[in-house]
Chains A and B, each alone.
Chain A
Amino acid sequence: MTLTLHVDGPRWRDHLVAVAERTPGMVPVAKGNGYGFGLPRLARRTQWLADRGAAAGHTWGDVLAVGTYDEIGEVASRYDGSILVLTPWRPFGAALDVDPALAHRVIHTVSRAEDLATLLERQPDARYVLELVTSMLRHGMTGRELRGLGGLTARGTLEGVAMHLPLAQGSHLSQVQRLVTDAIAADLPTRTLWVSHLTRSELDRLRTSYSDFTIRPRIGTDLWLGDRGALKVTAQVLDVHAVERGDVFGYRSRTAPKSGHVLVVSGGTAHGIGLEAPSGDQSLKARAATLARGGLDAVGFVRSPYSIGGKQRLFAEPPHMQASMLFLPHGSQVPQVGDEIDVRVRFTATAFDRVEVS
């Protein structure tokens, strides 16, 4: 009854080291569902990277970035470095409940002047990065707000300035240059930049132009999921029923359109199966494909993420909570109960029952 993420361990670990090697100062990101692996596993793997880096004289994973304050607990006991929280600190909620025993390991992201004052009042030795607003317009301070911080930044430990750039739409360098200029204008007592979503050549260029700065690239997807060939997702066939045209099946008492088999397979809405997460692909073709799938839905069966015999199969009805029903037309090779079949999922939106690393 399991939806399993199979990881080719040696290949995956080689990939992690390769990314670390070409990304000096790398800060792994572990947030949300842990990119399918789960936060605890990524925390342990970050420790492994940090140890390997330290042995080779590099800083890989001396800092691990998590998304929210609530995620600190999941990584803190499995990893002993610093923990950067990407969600900006606010004077309410989970940010105020950080375990005092962990306080010195946490690096806060501060995105508003008033928050910095309040944070330093509550925790005078707080470690923090100042987030600058980028063209994403999510969180962050403007150049003017940064200059207005004045002597505040001499208190606590300012660990650098952070920028969260949008996914690449042309080069980010001129924007980064402007943001760094804002930071220099504010005369901040730091020379560290925390950046994300820069291409390798952009990072190289940045390191050349700002070799008096320390660059800390935050990497999530490209690190953990960058080598898709090392990852394979399977579901199990739980039941197989032969049907004739007109046979009734399922919660909604649908009828089979023609003869074939109805399969019950592991994986349902609880795992994220059947939920549409927007794919990164924004091309016209991808949008047309989405429309076409919607069209199928209207007349009958919808294409599922499960493949049998190298072909993506149709849902016989919408996925259940932990299992799904597929329709296999007559003439296809029918798998046995217990067989494993391939599933294509969005890793960041899937909860696996099991992760098996070889």
Chain B
Amino acid sequence: MSSRQLVQPLTLRPVTAADHLAFIRTQPSASFLQVPAWGPVKSEWQHESLGWFRPGADGEEMVGAALVLYRQLPKVKRYLAYLPEGPVLDWASFTDPDARLADWLEPLRDYLKTKGAFGIRIGPPVVTRRWSAAQIKEGVSDPAVRRLDDIAPLERTPTGAAVVSQLHELGWQPQAAEGGFAAGQPQYNFHVPLTVDGRAKTEDEVLKSMNQLWRRNIKKAAKEGVEVTRGTRDDLAAFHALYVHTAERDHFTPRPLAYFEKMWDSLTPEEDDRFVLHLARHEGDLVAATISIRVGQHSWYSYGASSTEKREVRGSNAVQWEMIRSALAAGAAVYDMRGITDTLDADDPHVGLIQFKVGTGGEAVEYVGEWDLPINRAIYAAFQLYMKRR
């Protein structure tokens, strides 16, 4: 009630990619989908960098940033303005009851409206609930537990709840992703915390929180002589061949090689470790390959591939361990294994993925999820219908 009057209004305007990047560098972390170099990766969409400004003692201060992707509707010059895992702002400030999300989102809406957006989609990277690896393990073995929601979380965060409450109040609509993989970015993710009591964990501490199978496999890979190296742009082709092989085996649709080359070309120059290709070889054979991405203290395992032959040398575990070690060395606070579904049903085919991730001893986190604000209701409704029928 007191500080409210002192807060200066925020303004929003386009910024250069350089200013955008400079802001990201001041942040402890931001989603890699919100760095300026991500824009060119999505070349079929237009993109723009935006900045929030607040008048300060020494002139204007940039306090938030967004990478907006404009997705055009077929035939008309109207766009869905999409801020994947964004925007980048001080989400933690919303524990303060006086902090108003409207102060941030109203200028955003006003600006995007002038750009021809019929709707806006955001995905605040804010955690609402957490579950421990032990809880998940127990849940999978308990037939009464089918989804994460069936287990009381370790924590429900007031910040996450405050963001959800305010989004509802402001008329944003949750894009409920039943199961977690249906829409846009995953709402449930798996994190391996790399800090404890405010300090970095040691490699030993990280290893100790893993289950026995993971530790044994990491040891086994070392004993078998699996070597993990960093790849060059030329190695992307070898990664891609293995990735296509993995896609056939695991029944998912692979992205083309050009997509990964585009990621390389756009992301690698932006920052050290922004985009790293890891290759695990056994006696010269490529047995696993992964891509990791890091922004500040947040390191992601982004794409992975593994051979069907020589599974016993445990290339996958070796390359994961190498990525975790690199993240630790770079001072990351979180190793993020990305999306999981919320299923804990032992019969669900997705449960294998969560079990693999759970072996690292990390935690499942639920994010606020993706939310839409319709601007032009008629076009937005048509768009929703179109997306449903696609």
Contact = CB atoms under 8 A, between A and B. Distances in A.
Contact of A148 (B1, B153, B156, B161): B1
Interface string A250-293: 00000000000000000000000000000000000000000000
A208 B161 contact: no
B169 A184 contact: no
Interface in A130-148: 142-144, 147-148
Interface string B141-167: 000000001111100111011101110
A223 to B, nearest CB: 28
A178 interface: yes
Nearest to A213: B152
Contact of B162 (A147, A149, A178): A147
B168 interface: yes
A150 B3 CA distance: 13
B97 interface: yes
B158 A185 contact: yes
Nearest to A209: B149
B95 interface: yes
Q: Interface range on chain A: under 10, 10 to 19, 20 to 34, or 35 or more?
A: 20 to 34
B158 A184 contact: yes
Contact of A211 (B151, B161, B162, B164): B151
B165 A148 contact: no
A142 B150 CA distance: 27
A181 B169 CA distance: 12
Interface string A158-186: 00000000000000000000100111111
Contact of A181 (B1, B152, B161): B161
A120 B158 CA distance: 25
A143 B169 contact: yes
A185 B165 contact: yes
Nearest to B158: A187
A210 interface: yes
Contacts of A211: 151-152
B158 A181 contact: no
Nearest to B97: A147
Given A211-B151, A212-B152, A184 B161 contact: yes
Contacts of B153: 212
B166 to A, nearest CB: 8
Contacts, number: 49
Contacts of B161: 181-185
A187 B160 CA distance: 11
A148 B97 CA distance: 6
Contact of A208 (B97, B150, B158): B150
A142 B97 CA distance: 13
Size category of the binding interface on chain B: 10 to 19
A181 B95 contact: no
Contacts of B168: 143, 178, 181
Contacts of B157: 184
A150 B97 contact: yes
A290 to B, nearest CB: 39
A184 B97 contact: no
Interface in B3-45: none
A184 B150 contact: no
Given A150-B97, A185-B158, A208 B165 contact: no
Contact of A187 (B1, B95, B152): B95
B149 A185 contact: no
Contacts of B169: 142-144
Contacts of A150: 1, 97
Interface in B180-195: none
B148 to A, nearest CB: 10
A149 B169 CA distance: 18
Contacts of A212: 152-153, 156
Interface in A108-143: 142-143
Contacts of A187: 95, 158
A143 B97 CA distance: 10
Nearest to B148: A209
Nearest to B156: A184
Contacts of A208: 149-150
25 contacts: A142-B169, A143-B166, A143-B168, A144-B165, A144-B169, A147-B165, A148-B1, A148-B97, A150-B97, A178-B168, A181-B161, A182-B161, A182-B165, A184-B156, A184-B158, A185-B161, A185-B162, A185-B164, A185-B166, A187-B95, A208-B150, A209-B150, A211-B152, A212-B153, A212-B156
Q: 9 nearest interchain CB pairs?
A: A184-B161, A212-B152, A185-B161, A185-B162, A147-B97, A187-B158, A211-B152, A143-B165, A185-B165
Given A208-B149, A209-B149, 17 more contacts: A142-B169, A143-B165, A143-B166, A143-B168, A144-B165, A178-B168, A181-B168, A184-B157, A184-B161, A185-B162, A185-B166, A186-B97, A186-B158, A187-B158, A211-B151, A212-B152, A212-B156
